[in-house]
Amino acid sequence: MPNFKFKPTLTSPDRTVQLRPFTADNADRMLDILAQPLVSLYTGSSDHTPAPAETFPANTADTARIRTWYATRSDQNDRLDLAIVQNGTLIGEVVLNLYDAENNSCNLRILIADDATEHGAGQATFALILPYAFLALGLNTLTLDAFEFNQRAIHVYHKVGFKDVGTIPDDLELDGKSVTSIKMALTAADFLQS
């Protein structure tokens, strides 16, 4: 099994983006990010298309759970959760989870705050996490999925080498309609050839 207990700090060559372990004091910022409308939409947390200024603050019980969650990310030995920091500001997270020993594969998840998109953080995050996943951890495959309406994310995933491998019909109900997710995968062999 890959060494998920070790939590690296990875920094882009221009030093503007850093992936680093979470600390307990990151919870407030993550609570703010998780309440944002596009984050709620693209993570499937909303059952309707949010209005631009609509927020989804956590209730008291969820706030306590989220605080505990981020305070314990560095203690996990079966997954890797890293904060995405751009120019000194926490803007999201990248996660390797759901390790499949038979296929030596992981699911990859990335979440970036609404106000931090389109500033290169996604591309920089992939440029850091993909080599780490395939070269340092020795994974064979990374998988992910995206709702079919999230065309910006799908474009980025394709750009970094992920290929469509299937669909998940009826993965979400949004505005009373069924939404399909696109399943994607990137193999170490394909990554190393790019």
Domain boundaries, the chain: 10-193
Q: Are 94 and 85 in contact (CB under 8 A)?
A: no
Q: Are 182 and 146 in contact (CB under 8 A)?
A: yes
Phi, psi of 79 (to 5 degrees): -165, 165
pLDDT reported for residue 115 = 86
End-to-end Cα distance, the chain: 26
The predicted model scores a pTM of 0.95
Query: Nearest-CA neighbor of 156 among 184, 135, 116, 181?
Result: 184
DSSP string, 97-116: EEEETTTTEEEEEEEE-GGG
Kindly report the CATH number that applies to the domain delimited by 10-193. 3.40.630.30
Q: What is the mean pLDDT of each run of 10 residues along the chain (194 residues)?
A: 95 97 96 96 93 92 95 96 97 98 97 87 96 98 97 94 97 96 98 90
Sheet holding 105-112, edge to edge: 10-11, 17-21, 80-86, 89-100, 105-112, 141-147, 177-187, 163-174
Phi, psi of 131 (to 5 degrees): -60, -35
